[in-house]
Chain A
Amino acid sequence: MEDKILLAHGSGGKLAHDLVEKSFVKTLANPLLARLDDSAVFDVSGRLAFTTDSYVVSPIFFPGGDIGKLAVCGTVNDLAMSGARPLYLSLAFIIEEGLSLSELEQVVNSVRLAAGEAGVEIVTGDTKVVPRGSADKLFINTAGVGLIPEGVNISGDKAKPGDKVILSGAIGDHGIAVFSRREGLSFATTLESDCAPLGGLVAEMLGVSRNINCLRDPTRGGLASTLNELASQSKVSIRIEEKKIPVREEVLGACEMLGFDPLYVANEGRLVAIVPAGDADKILKAMKKNKYGKDAVIIGEVAARPPGRVVMKTVLGSHRIVDMLVGDLLPRIC
């Protein structure tokens, strides 16, 4: 019979100890984690970025990734969006009793691969097991710290009229890939999630210009919500052009079927940069050299009025407001 996670795996006793040793420490091998002290202890000097996020994606395995890869990339990207070089992550599991051990090991292996690519170490962690029905298979929380290089000062309130808005690639891949495997909905698509660690891309962008004003990854709520957040924080208007925004034909098709607008569909490996016009070309050029920025494109610019609003020029040449996402994305009925 297949090995399952039991409540005892989270009890702190022998089973728990074995799980941590065999499934986590061995896979995620690094000296800081292997000490198994109550805290990871390390030296850092400089300006630190510190962030946390919880991951509850359903299903936990989806085309192009799984909850483990997502938990690393999501937190790494939050650090990167502050301009920080991600260094260390914590990793905490809340496991529903009955999860198969092999699925858990697969997730931990994804954590290892993603952390390796992102150049971060998992230095501390925790495991809890809850009774069946108290969680949905597996929830993960990660927190991370990163170091911000000298001269970098990135924040959502720094967009200025005249700045250019750069998007790193096609939108909507993650949301649609996950939806395509959701229970009761599955449809056939070759689409894969864009889930990826963006620390390297950001480092290369900062390598050519430290004047980047805003960086943000358009995750939940999609590009539309991210641009609205930036417009509102910076008290500026963001003007974008519909025909410049890359969307894959598969995403367009699925969105039509489900009644979604790709502007609101989640991404996990894309970023939006708002940069001074004079630096836009060199930043774009640097992005295009990176595999996660090869389709980067300038989608619009920042204007003074109306503040807090995102206005899109449609493919017909008319203009419309792009608002924040309200509630959940739900399908239409006819």
Chain B
Amino acid sequence: MKYISEFRRSELAGGLISHIRHRSKTRARFMEFCGGHTVTIFRYGIRQVLPETIEMVSGPGCPICVTANADLDKAIALAKVPGVIIATFGDMIKVPGSRSSLQKAKAEGAEVRTVYSTMDALKAAEDNPDKPVVFLGIGFETTAPTVAASILQAEEKGIKNYYVLSLHKLCPPVIRTLLDAGEVKLGGLVCPGHVSTIIGSHPWEFIASEYGIPCVVSGFEPLDILQCVDMLVGQVEKGESKVEIAYRRGVRPEGNRQALKLMEQVFEPAPARWRGIGEVAGSGLKLKSKYRRFDAEARFNIEPGPTIEPAGCICGDILRGVKTPSDCPLFAKTCTPESPVGPCMVSTEGSCSAYYSYGEGLGG
């Protein structure tokens, strides 16, 4: 089986689209939580092919976008500590904090390296034993286990100059917060695929049982999304709410036990700040006391200064699904991918970037 082209076949897509159109009678708003899904939806123009009954809204599932300015400022302040090497995933470099960005800090002499995996960061620490290497731990449950693995390896190898700034975020608690706020009425949730690969589909059960919202875990190819929407429509039309998986090649109900074990060994839940949403209890991960010596915040006394939010930027509202990028007065005017004001325009998985790059709605 080909795992990519097979899931982009237009004749199969055509069949799914007509199936959805045929059986969708009830108006429903579905939120795709994950930024990866947002990108697929825009890249393949999925909103255009769905019937008028279905409205898709984007959620807060882009880890870069939801990182609060106060946390970005911490990362930038760390980069400015003499001798420190910052190792980070690429997209973080361009995100503006209150006063600067990692990119600007780098241009001013900070050592900021793009890595493709946590193990590359660990290797940088091994190769530079006299310099502290700080990995920026940004991401959801998907990336946290690999960061945990890097810490365990650092411990095993006796690497003393490896640190993690843990800004990890957990998805289920923030979804509960969004639903409790009640700003967006949802008829269905497209549950994140990669996150569910790790945590499984069980952690979404409360959404179906307590809030009565249909949930379907989706993959990232256009056929995955269409199948997921079709299954959500099926539940809506039958008046059901349960958790289903439309991504069986990646997700098991119980998740990846090994990865979960690593995560639990190293991290414990903590409050976390989300852009546009605020502090959400139990939605972050901090290092357990046994591993505190790898904690960048404990090791360095950083004073990032007061937090400043970009004026006029409505990233927060967009992340909550309350507004869309086209509602923003800055969108495509002062805020573009070349000179972004807010993080949703910087990250490739941000809603603003997806709206801008794929010119949704222009049509042919």
Query: Does A239 lie at the interface of the complex (its beta carbon under 8 Å from any beta carbon of B)?
Result: yes
Partner of A252, one of B5, B94, B358: B5
A/B pair count, beta carbons within 8 Å: 117
Contact with B along A306-331 (1 / 0, CB 8 A): 10010101111111110100110011
What 7 A-B pairs are tightest by C-beta distance, nearest first? Answer: A318-B45, A321-B359, A330-B90, A319-B364, A333-B89, A318-B48, A326-B337
Q: How far is the CA of A312 from the CA of B2 in the complex (A)?
A: 24
| A256 (CB) vs chain B CBs: closest residue | B4
Query: Does A133 lie at the interface of the complex (its beta carbon under 8 Å from any beta carbon of B)?
Result: no
Q: How far is the CA of A261 from the CA of B348 in the complex (A)?
A: 11
List chain B residues, Cβ under 8 A from A332: 36, 89-91, 347-349
Contact with A along B1-28 (1 / 0, CB 8 A): 0111100111001100100000000000
**Structural contact, B116 and A331, CB atoms closer than 8 A:** yes
Partner of B49, one of A252, A309, A316: A316
**Structural contact, B5 and A317, CB atoms closer than 8 A:** no
Contact with B along A261-294 (1 / 0, CB 8 A): 1000000000000000000000000000000000
**Structural contact, A320 and B13, CB atoms closer than 8 A:** no
Q: How far is the CA of A331 from the CA of B36 in the complex (A)?
A: 13
- Contacts known (A314-B43, A334-B142); A319 close to B348, Cβ less than 8 A: no
List chain A residues, Cβ under 8 A from B142: 334
Ordered by A's residue number, 7 sampled pairs between the chains whose C-beta atoms are within 8 Å are: A314-B222, A315-B222, A320-B358, A320-B359, A320-B362, A330-B93, A330-B348
Looking at A185, A320, A323, the one whose CB has the most chain B CB atoms below 10 A away is A320
Query: Does A12 lie at the interface of the complex (its beta carbon under 8 Å from any beta carbon of B)?
Result: no
**Structural contact, B358 and A333, CB atoms closer than 8 A:** no
Query: Does A249 lie at the interface of the complex (its beta carbon under 8 Å from any beta carbon of B)?
Result: yes
Partner of A333, one of B44, B90, B94: B90
Partner of A334, one of B43, B120, B143: B143
List chain B residues, Cβ under 8 A from A313: 364
The smallest C-beta distance from A25 to any residue of chain B, in angstroms, reads 41
The smallest C-beta distance from A239 to any residue of chain B, in angstroms, reads 7
Query: Does A116 lie at the interface of the complex (its beta carbon under 8 Å from any beta carbon of B)?
Result: no
Query: Does B46 lie at the interface of the complex (its beta carbon under 8 Å from any beta carbon of A)?
Result: yes
Query: Does A4 lie at the interface of the complex (its beta carbon under 8 Å from any beta carbon of B)?
Result: no
Query: Does B42 lie at the interface of the complex (its beta carbon under 8 Å from any beta carbon of A)?
Result: yes
**Structural contact, B14 and A317, CB atoms closer than 8 A:** yes
**Structural contact, B337 and A318, CB atoms closer than 8 A:** no
Q: How far is the CA of A13 from the CA of B172 in the complex (A)?
A: 70
Query: Does A184 lie at the interface of the complex (its beta carbon under 8 Å from any beta carbon of B)?
Result: yes
Contact surface of B with A, Cβ cutoff 8 Å: 2-5, 8-10, 13-14, 17, 35-36, 42-46, 48-49, 63-64, 89-94, 114-116, 120, 138-140, 142-143, 194-195, 222, 226, 336-338, 347-349, 356-360, 362-364
The smallest C-beta distance from A202 to any residue of chain B, in angstroms, reads 31
**Structural contact, A316 and B17, CB atoms closer than 8 A:** yes
**Structural contact, B14 and A319, CB atoms closer than 8 A:** no
- Contacts known (A327-B337, A331-B90); A320 close to B43, Cβ less than 8 A: yes
List chain A residues, Cβ under 8 A from B349: 332, 334
Q: How far is the CA of A185 from the CA of B113 in the complex (A)?
A: 13
The smallest C-beta distance from B42 to any residue of chain A, in angstroms, reads 7
The smallest C-beta distance from A169 to any residue of chain B, in angstroms, reads 17
- Contacts known (A249-B4, A331-B89, A333-B91); A320 close to B139, Cβ less than 8 A: no
| B124 (CB) vs chain A CBs: closest residue | A184
Looking at B45, B194, B336, the one whose CB has the most chain A CB atoms below 10 A away is B45
- 20 more contacts with CB within 8 A, not counting A319-B364, A330-B93, A330-B348, are A184-B115, A253-B3, A256-B4, A258-B116, A311-B364, A315-B9, A319-B362, A320-B42, A320-B44, A320-B362, A323-B359, A326-B338, A331-B91, A332-B89, A332-B91, A332-B347, A333-B90, A333-B143, A334-B143, A334-B349
Q: How far is the CA of A330 from the CA of B138 in the complex (A)?
A: 16
Q: How far is the CA of A327 from the CA of B337 in the complex (A)?
A: 8
